[in-house]
Structure 1
Amino acid sequence: MPAVSFQNVSKTYATTRGPLHALRSVSFDIEPGEFFGLLGPNGAGKTTLISILAGLARASEGRVVVHGHDVLSDYREARRHLGVVPQELVFDPFFNVRETLRIQSGYFGVRRNDDWIDELLTGLGLADKATANMRQLSGGMKRRVLIAQALVHKPPVIVLDEPTAGVDVELRQTLWQFVSGLNKRLGSTVLLTTHYLEEAEALCGRIAMLKQGQVVALESTSALLARAASNVLRFKTDAALPADIAAQARITGRVVQLPALDARAVEHVLARLREAGVMPEDIEVRKADLEDVFLDLTGAHTRPAAGPPQGGAAPSGGSEDTSVPSVGARKS
């Protein structure tokens, strides 16, 4: 039995311009114990799908099941099996950290939970903040508390919606060490959405990619990386690129990246740059990674016409227009 099953899930919103299809017949299963990635550009439908999973939105069509429990007809048991970490910082300013976690335990009928709360506080680097009021915490510390809240009832399925957006390196390392430990030690199923594709590449065994509400890829991470068999030529320049080179390039500020199938392709690019009087700096050839596959499948970047390098929309950072508050909290 899958840990999570999305079965032909569609979501349509009525707008003044007509129906907006946020999700179109999305179907895939996540197996127990998987560390699963859900990727896509802003507006692809990731947060909408998680909102439906968490019971914060209702699908227009289709069905979502968590460990055999329908999220609509058997919502109490479905909620018990889920721990959702939202994008936004949602907290009650009247309680300290330990009280917040005890109250969250009570929502799920869990009593005498202090031993597990202590383990969460220690594992997430919150032990010295246990008696601190939530208002006194930094943004990073508040996010750690959100993660602890999602885990306090020991859910078998953990949903992390952009958990490291805007946080420091220390929190990222602490979070991934702790969650990876739960995944390996307790067999917890983890569903991760992130714009930091290096995280997904390092952590997720299987990945689904969404584009405009549809699944455009559903494969193991290794299979996705195998699609990017070519290398990537990377260099920096302030000069205008030849039109034929610019048409293939991914440009971020001064950094230009181009597919490089072999040494002959690299030499061709360098020769064209010399002919155009472009002097590249910091030239390197690297292996293609998940970001290259992501951009190829989703078309999340634009290829500019000839001219000086311009900053493009990077796949990291940002969030969708919709948001997921904490389970049990009201969205204002």
Structure 2
Amino acid sequence: MTRAHSPGPAIRVEGVSKRYGRTLALDEVSFEVRCNEIFALLGPNGAGKTSLLYILCTLLRPDSGVALIGEFDVSRQPLAARRRLGVVFQEPSLDGRLTVYENLNLHGLVYGVPRKLRRQRIDQMLALVELTTWADRPARSLSSGMKRRLEIARALIHDSEILLLDEPTVGLDAQTRDRIWSYIRQLREERQVTVLVTTHYIEEVETCDRVCVVDHGKVLALDKPAVLKRNHGQQLLRIVPKTDADHASIAARYAARLQRQDENEIILTSDDAFSENFLAENGALIRALSIEMPSLESVFLTLTGRDIRDHEASPRDLTKAFGKIGGEHTG
């Protein structure tokens, strides 16, 4: 299906701020998402990603600033904005008592999709997410990965132009996460859908068109992954010293280059010349050494001074944070 896009951006965010009591979740955030783009918001839990997504899908109002879905202001024209959106929330939102088919059919009815088109779309989406043979099974009988695939299918039963995905692969195994991303890319190609996805899995955004790095409610950098790595990434030297004494000695001597360390490993910023000199001078103290080329993880380290995984939440934490749709979210 070929979709005619308007000449403007699919999503425009200008100076959006949101506060919960003393906590500033979003601090004058601004960016644009182009039509037919896969755009990632990358940041740890607590960075403000989910607050922004809830504003875009009209469940929260910004304290200041403007957010547009196409030409529609999400605060002033929420119904028009919603009609253009397909949303997959981080927390499950299927009706487990209904079958897979009934969940999709109900969503189509709510959005007023005509019966013939609704059946056609349901068949198409079930085939895409490989759930055709499960159509008559209750949704509660699906695995976590299958439920997530069903939620993605449901978001596209109506004529949604923009797909908002909030941590769509959190808690899933690596194989299922890879499959989910293959569906996302296929949807973009086949339906010209614009995709905005939030995540704290760095490896997932390598193939996105652009990545927006956020932390503490601020946009720290936004560009293509390759450009971010070139402008902000660092070559890293991962070192496993032989003894505790060697560990302490290396960490002290190269404190100016120290990115982080644990009881087994030291990570230093590096370049080719430094790596060669380090090995020549410290080879006798090292059990293992590896060179890591500039990556999005090193981009995040450079911009924030810490590992993105510092703030990954447990399932219990996520339940507390996102337990009630439309409530106060800071994720």
Cα distance in 1 for partners of 2:137, 2:277 equals: 61
Cα distance, 1:206 vs structure 2 = 1.3
Task: Show the counterpart of 2:38.
Answer: 35
Task: Show the counterpart of 1:22.
Answer: 25
The structure where helix makes up a greater share of residues is 2
Corresponding position: 1:177 with 2:182: yes
Amino acid at match of 2:279: L
Corresponding position: 1:206 with 2:215: no
SS of the residue aligned with 1:72?
coil
Q: For each residue in 1:92-138, what CA deviation from the matched residue of structure 2 results, as whole angstroms up to 9, or x when unmatched?
A: 12201100010011121112212211221121121221111112122
Cα distance in 2 for partners of 1:128, 1:256 equals: 50
Cα distance in 1 for partners of 2:9, 2:235 equals: 36
Q: TM-score, normalised by structure 2?
A: 0.85
Over the residues paired in the alignment, what is the CA RMSD in angstroms? Answer: 2.6
Amino acid at match of 1:6: V
Instruction: Flag the 1:106–1:222 CA change in 2: closer, same or farther, 3 A.
Output: same
Instruction: Flag the 1:171–1:115 CA change in 2: closer, same or farther, 3 A.
Output: farther
SS of the residue aligned with 1:151?
coil
Counterpart pick for 1:144 among 137, 142, 149: 149
Amino acid at match of 2:271: L
Task: Show the counterpart of 2:139.
Answer: 134
Amino acid at match of 2:145: G
The answer as to whether partners of 1:11 and 1:23 remain within 8 angstroms in 2 is yes
Task: Name structure 1 gaps, 5 residues minimum.
Answer: 302-311
Cα distance, 1:220 vs structure 2 = 2.2
Percent identical = 36
Q: TM-score, normalised by structure 1?
A: 0.84
What is the 5 A alignment of 1:76-225? 76-112=79-115, 113-202=118-207, 204-225=208-229
SS of the residue aligned with 2:112?
coil
Instruction: Flag the 1:256–1:119 CA change in 2: closer, same or farther, 3 A.
Output: farther
Cα distance in 1 for partners of 2:166, 2:178 equals: 17
Instruction: Flag the 1:160–1:254 CA change in 2: closer, same or farther, 3 A.
Output: farther
Task: Show the counterpart of 1:52.
Answer: 55
Task: Show the counterpart of 1:4.
Answer: 11
Cα distance in 1 for partners of 2:126, 2:148 equals: 12
Task: Name structure 2 gaps, 5 residues minimum.
Answer: 1-7
Q: For each residue in 1:285-326, what CA deviation from the matched residue of structure 2 results, as whole angstroms up to 9, or x when unmatched?
A: 23111111012112233xxxxxxxxxx94576768774387x
Task: Show the counterpart of 1:288.
Answer: 294
Cα distance, 1:91 vs structure 2 = 2.1
Task: Show the counterpart of 2:3.
Answer: none
Cα distance in 2 for partners of 1:170, 1:40 equals: 22
